[in-house]
Amino acid sequence: MENNEAFIDFYTGSEIMIMGLKKRLESIDVFGIVQNDFNSGNLAGFVGGTTSAVRFKIRAMDFEKAQPILEAYLKEDN
């Protein structure tokens, strides 16, 4: 059985792109978690991840609602 409450990786990119995407998704009541391994590693005293590989996670149940927003956002960036 699938857990729709579980967080899944939704988008990986720069922190700037993630912040813009996060703001748009929050406007349609889709909330997520920003996972920045590079900053986390620095705070813990070791280096991990890269500055351009920040991950944004959303709940599995929000995927279909969030996908069109991501597609439109990526088209605007080009």
How much is the pTM? Answer: 0.77
Contact 36, 56 (CB under 8 A): no
Rounded Cα distance between 33 and 52, Å, is: 16
Q: What are phi and psi of 61, to 5 degrees?
A: -70, -15
Q: pLDDT-derived band of residue 3, with 50, 70 and 90 as boundaries?
A: confident
Q: Name all domains of the chain by residue range, CATH numbers in brackets.
A: 7-77 (3.30.70.1530)
Mean pLDDT, the chain, whole residue set: 84
Rounded Cα distance between 39 and 31, Å, is: 21
Does residue 66 or residue 37 have the better pLDDT?
Answer: 66
Mean pLDDT across the stretch 10-21? 94
